[in-house]
Structure 1
Amino acid sequence: MTYSVLDDFAGFGGSSQGITAVPGTELSMAANHLPLAVEVHSANFPDAEHYCGDIAKADIKSWPRVDLFWASPSCPPWSDARGKKRDFDKSTQGVLFDPEVGAVSTDPETIRARALMEEIPRYLKAMRLKGKPVLGGVVENVVQVTKWDQIGRWRKEIESYGYRTRWIALNAMHVTGPVLGKVAQSRNRAFLAYWLEEFGRDPEWDKWLRPKAYCPDCDEVVSALQVFKKPKAFMGVYGIRTGQYVYRCPRSSCRHRIVEPSVVGADTIIDWSLDPGPKIGERADHGKDPLEPATIARIEAGLARHARPMLAPAGGTWREHATPLEVPMPTRTTRETDGLVVPPLLVPVAKRAGVNMASTIEEPMRTQTTRREVAMVMPPFISLLRGGGSKQTAYPVSGPIPTVSAQGNHHGLVGPPADPSMLLAYYSNGGLSPVSEPVGTLTTRDRYAVVGGDTPPVDQCTFRMLSAKEVGRGMGFRPDYRVKDGISKRDEVRGYGNAVPPAMSEVIVSALVETFSGEHLEPAA
């Protein structure tokens, strides 16, 4: 059986990609208020009907009935990152005080966000009254939406039309779609899933939402359990130190120890062939503005915190693991060579609060907003030559990128200086030589030292913003997804940042479609 789908507030089509990856689904209609978003969406889903206009003013009751209703109402008014005082937890007041004019004024953006949330029960009610109820659906938003003082009433209204519901707190980096795979971004989102009570069965959420994680005590990969730090909590963000929930091993033998689900790195979305940009200290020579002092400070702090070199085996060798420089150098052989590597960094360049920490690309990308606010810094590396003259270069870039958001590209790239370090031979006739040249004969005694500290000079690093295509890959969009020719980078990044990572909608809709049909779907391995 084929299940028809309506994607409301569809944007560029992140949610639509995930939904249509689920067997048995067919996108019937998509709606959005931005003409550019509708144009991009219709180019990729030409068989679906498209509505372009203000959904809050649309006669949604007259829209065609579908089996599955996905809705992603505008999230910035609910988010802490919007740079405005949050007042939706006091919506009964209905007004805000404007200190500049000394008067009470209405915040139209917040009012519109509330109105858009009300469209969901409005549509469900209309289809129920027509005698053809929607089988189920999903409402997606930021986690702060659950602080809305009307959220309980809103949820009960949906349930009053014959649905069971469940709140889902989910981070994109912990999702693995059977078709779309993993997402290289840390993006916390809230989902309210609902399905007809008359089915008499609930979705197998554990099957679709429990990420795989390695438990060192049990010495095996387990399906991790989501556990909130406060027993009565049901929504929040992931984080061992600062989040509201963690993942634990389901086995009692290890006392349900905290485990960290496997993630993919930013290296999966970075295009290393792109021009790395000018050195930070030479930006003026290339007609570019100097970086903000706050950005420089973040880079320096990130380099000091993360740019710790290590010796990594390269070429044919019996060794498997990299070693820090604080420990003795591994045994020299006649064949092996080592590369001195340090992980690249992603550095936020935004001025707003809460985005002041650099991270390595061994970690997930931060949430992408609609702005371009993040750069990538890559500390220097040393590549030694193996006998025969083939260079071996190591890049430990195995972690996800920071979250991509709809406010723009918040990610930039900083690369290594052209001649980052020198080798010093400390014997009577020794001298300095670039690390790009072959190292001298390795004897049974220590003869070479790396000149330079652990932290490279910021002005010698190169810097560039992430490209729009890299941002799209960080969101999990398909590589062949079509975007309008001639679109500005700003608009393209905004479209990606407003989207739902496709793999997130894929796993949630998979659970719902199983409930509709009663037939098994295969999750990712």
Structure 2
Amino acid sequence: MQLDLFREIIVDNFAGGGGASTGIEMATGLSVDIAINHDPAAIAMHKANHPDTEHYCESVWDVDPVEAVKGRKVGLAWFSPDCKHFSKAKGGKPVEKKVRGLAWIAVKWAIAVKPRVIMLENVEEFKTWGPLTPEGYPDDNQKGKTFNSFVKTLEAIGYKVEFKELKACDYGAPTIRKRFFMVARCDGKPIKWPKPTHADPNSLEVQAGKLQPWKAASEVIDWSIGTPSIFDRKKPLAENTMRRIARGIKRFVVNEANPFIVRIGQTGFGKDRLQYELGKPLTTITTKAEHCLVTPFLATYYTETTENGVRGQTLQAPIATIPTANRFGLVTAFVAQHYKTSIGHKLEQPLGAITTVNKASLVTAFLMKYYGSDIGQSVNDPLHTVTTKDRFGLVTIEGKDYQIVDIGMRMLQPHELYAAQGFPEQYVIDRDHEGKPYPKTQQVARCGNSVPPPFADALVRENLPEFCVSETRYKRAVAN
């Protein structure tokens, strides 16, 4: 590969699977020049998506910046040091001093090759970086001391430094992930922060047409997969999972239902497979039943994301922060118009099938188990008061009664999580550069550790416009 000694290069330290690199490429139209990461699996994914990049599979401390850049000037150096020993999700466990000090690598690069612009991403708690107690815990009396020293060191080298917290959903990614960003530059130009392009759908800016509404979780769900019934499982779900589903159904379906009409025709995810709000017109009705009324929500397994102790969220909002392990289950309550002779249908069955099965006994047993004020009862036990429990299963939508007839649940798939994180649809996540497949656990881990690409895209466009191409040009290049 012939080196261009006159062109400024871009370096991605802690490159991982390529989130920041992808965002930078979205802005510039070019792969980053150098990517560094100690994890062979992460580098393999990075190579699959950024084959033109020079990769270093080793510790950032073992890479000599002078040798790596080979005389070239560095326009941008991006750093996303390990954040697990700063994150509030870490809990009260002792921290590793070596990992907690990884951010100092930015100072090493600043001294060695003086990048014109440095960008650093981490969790919000990064600003609390300080000394540890002898027992290995953060010293509450010295919060932020090391962070302030870090900033002053960069300033002493000749950098102007600013930092701010940004939310991914404000820049077009359907996730609420909030991150700390630091921008430092030594070329005398001002540091600029990207203005949000999206906002809360109920905000005045969105209603006035000045900003786009946040992208919702529903936009990244692959509706072609379906959600298997929780009643047909060979191995019953854990009791705690059932409790979460029960509370979620009550919170998001019975009390605050906002159903979708889901089109289930074989039209392909990411193209014209659509979901519609109930009040909007349907697409053309074909000879096959393709539209079903379904009320979905996301059950989450790692944090309280709603009020009243319900772990979950509606699909109208951006998805919660994606961790390194899959914690999102798509739950769908299938509902059918309430007739005396109908028990409704599952998503995969034709719409409006009429039967003569005893609706009350079937649905009541199911509602007793999963919708009672407590965990409910077994269907093998004598029924409690039938009338009140039966009515609890009715949902009134625009003046019409609907009966909950089934519940489906599945975990979100990696390609849905990557879409929520803001990765482009064509990003390779299931195999490395040699075609070796990745297990789903590794795919999800790479996603949870990644920088949402829209962050890097927005920051680079704002601070390095001379590097950037139009969004249309990038999409055209990717398509070809």
TM-score bracket, normalised by the shorter chain, equals 0.5 to 0.7
5+ residue gaps in structure 2? 1-5, 130-143, 264-275, 280-290, 339-344, 361-389, 397-401, 475-480
2:459 is aligned, of 508, 512, 518, to 508
Matches within 5 A, 1:339-418: 341=293, 343-350=295-302, 357-382=311-336
Number of paired residues? 376
> 2:81 maps to which residue?
73
1:345-375 alpha-carbon deviations (Å, 9 max, x no partner): 100134x777962111111111111112220
1:36 correspondence with 2:41: yes
1:271 correspondence with 2:183: no
Aligned pair 1:481/2:407, yes or no?
no
Structure-2 separation of matches of 1:313 and 1:478: 26
User: Which whole-Å CA distance do the structure 2 matches of 1:357 and 1:463 have between them?
Assistant: 15
Q: Contact between 2:76 and 2:118, CA under 8 Å: does it hold in 1?
A: yes
- Judged with a 3 Å threshold, the aligned counterparts in structure 2 of structure 1 residues 123 and 314 are, in CA distance, closer, same or farther, namely closer
Contact 2:173 2:452 in 1 (8 A): yes
**Which amino acid in 1 is paired with 2:230?**
I
From 147, 170, 180, the equivalent of 1:151 is 147
TM-score, normalised via structure 1 length:
0.62
Match for residue 454 of structure 1 among 395, 398, 407: 395
| In 2, Cα distance between equivalents of 1:314 and 1:371 | 28
User: Are 1:125 and 2:100 an aligned pair?
Assistant: no
Paired residue secondary structure (1:154): helix
Q: Which residue of 1 aligns with 2:288?
A: none
Q: Give yes or no for contact 1:215–1:221 (8 Å, CA) kept in 2.
A: no
Change (3 A) 1:58 1:348: same
The structure in which a higher percent of residues are strand is 1
User: What SS does the aligned partner of 1:297 have?
Assistant: helix
- How does 1:39-58 map onto structure 2 within 5 Å? 39-58=44-63
Consecutive unaligned residues of structure 1, counting only runs of 5 or more, are 86-95, 97-106, 128-132, 176-181, 224-260, 324-338, 385-392, 394-414, 425-430, 434-448
Identity over aligned residues, as a percent? Answer: 25
Distance 2:85 2:469 in 1: 38
CA distance, structure 1, for counterparts of residue 206 and residue 18 of structure 2: 41
2:371 matched to which residue of 1?
none
Deviates more, 1:189-198 or 1:33-42: 189-198
RMSD: 4.1
Change (3 A) 1:521 1:314: closer
Report what 1:173 is aligned to: 169
Alignment of 1:90-489 (within 5 A): 107=95, 109=96, 111-127=97-113, 133-148=114-129, 149=144, 150-175=146-171, 182-199=172-189, 201-203=190-192, 205=193, 208-209=195-196, 211=198, 215-216=203-204, 220-222=208-210, 262-277=213-228, 279-283=229-233, 286=234, 288=235, 290-307=236-253, 308-309=256-257, 341=293, 343-350=295-302, 357-382=311-336, 452-454=393-395, 460-483=406-429, 484=431, 485-489=436-440
Asked if structure 2 preserves the Cα contact closer than 8 Å seen for 1:174 and 1:211, the reply is yes
Partner Cα distance (1:321, 1:81) in 2 = 35
C-alpha displacement of 1:23: 3.2
Cα 1:27–1:50, aligned 2, differ >3 Å: closer, same or farther? same
TM (norm. structure 2) is: 0.68
Deviations 1:361-405 (A, max 9, x none): 111111111112220111123379xxxxxxxx9xxxxxxxxxxxx
Distance in structure 1 (CA, Å) of the matches to 2:32 and 2:214: 30
Task: Indicate conservation of the 8 Å contact 1:173/1:187, yes or no.
Answer: yes
CA distance in 2, matches of 1:454, 1:276: 20
1:8 and 1:31 in contact (8 A); partners too = yes
- 1:25 is displaced (CA, Å) by 5.2
- Decide whether aligned partners of structure 1 residues 457 and 322 sit closer, same or farther in structure 2, where only a CA change above 3 A counts: closer
**Paired residues of 1:73 and 1:140 also in contact (CA < 8 A):** yes
Structure 1 pair 418–123 and aligned structure 2 pair: CA distance change class (3 A): same
What is aligned with 1:258? none
Equivalent position SS for 2:89:
helix
Q: Say which SS state the counterpart of residue 282 (structure 1) adopts.
A: coil
Task: Please state how far the C-alpha of 1:71 moved relative to its aligned partner.
Answer: 0.7
